[in-house]
Amino acid sequence: MSLPQRSAAPALARPAGYGQRPVHRSAVPGARPAVQHPMAARPLGMRPEAHAPMAPVAQRPAPRPAVSFLTVTEVAAIMRVSKMTVYRLVHGGELSAVRVGRSFRVPEPAVREYLAGARTDVA
């Protein structure tokens, strides 16, 4: 008893793996594909839209000055008070702060403003 013979099946093209180019095989060995990649036709260093009129580009807003934030410990060291005093000032609304997670960050200008407003003249 013999098993039926399989007929020769055409080879199926495998999809390209990640990061690999798909392989295009033609019937004639060594022949180049008729369709070229759209980027292959342009010279190097030229953008595809360089030949077409460019749309107006939106202007970026002026960069804002960077605000540095201080921790409660750093503010306490600058003001030479305890951390608890800084927390009281923040919770009382006398010193503005930003809550980041479970901790507070105090903007550096807020510390300067508080110290400028806290000065008293002794006669």
Instruction: Tell me the per-residue pLDDT of 55-95, one tens digit each, with 9 for 90 and over.
Output: 777 888 888 878 799 999 999 999 999 999 999 999 999 99
Measure CA 114 to chain center.
35
Any domain includes 39: no
Any domain includes 25: no
Task: Read off φ and ψ for residue 95, nearest 5 degrees.
Answer: -125, 120
- Yes or no: say if 82 and 89 are a contact pair by the CB < 8 Å rule: no
Task: Read off φ and ψ for residue 69, nearest 5 degrees.
Answer: -105, 145
**Residue 75: which region, alpha, beta or left (left: phi > 0; alpha: psi -120 to 50)?**
alpha
Number of domains in the chain: 1
Q: Does 33 have pLDDT greater than 90?
A: no
Q: Does 116 have pLDDT greater than 80?
A: yes
Any domain includes 9: no
Any domain includes 4: no
pTM, rounded to two decimals = 0.47
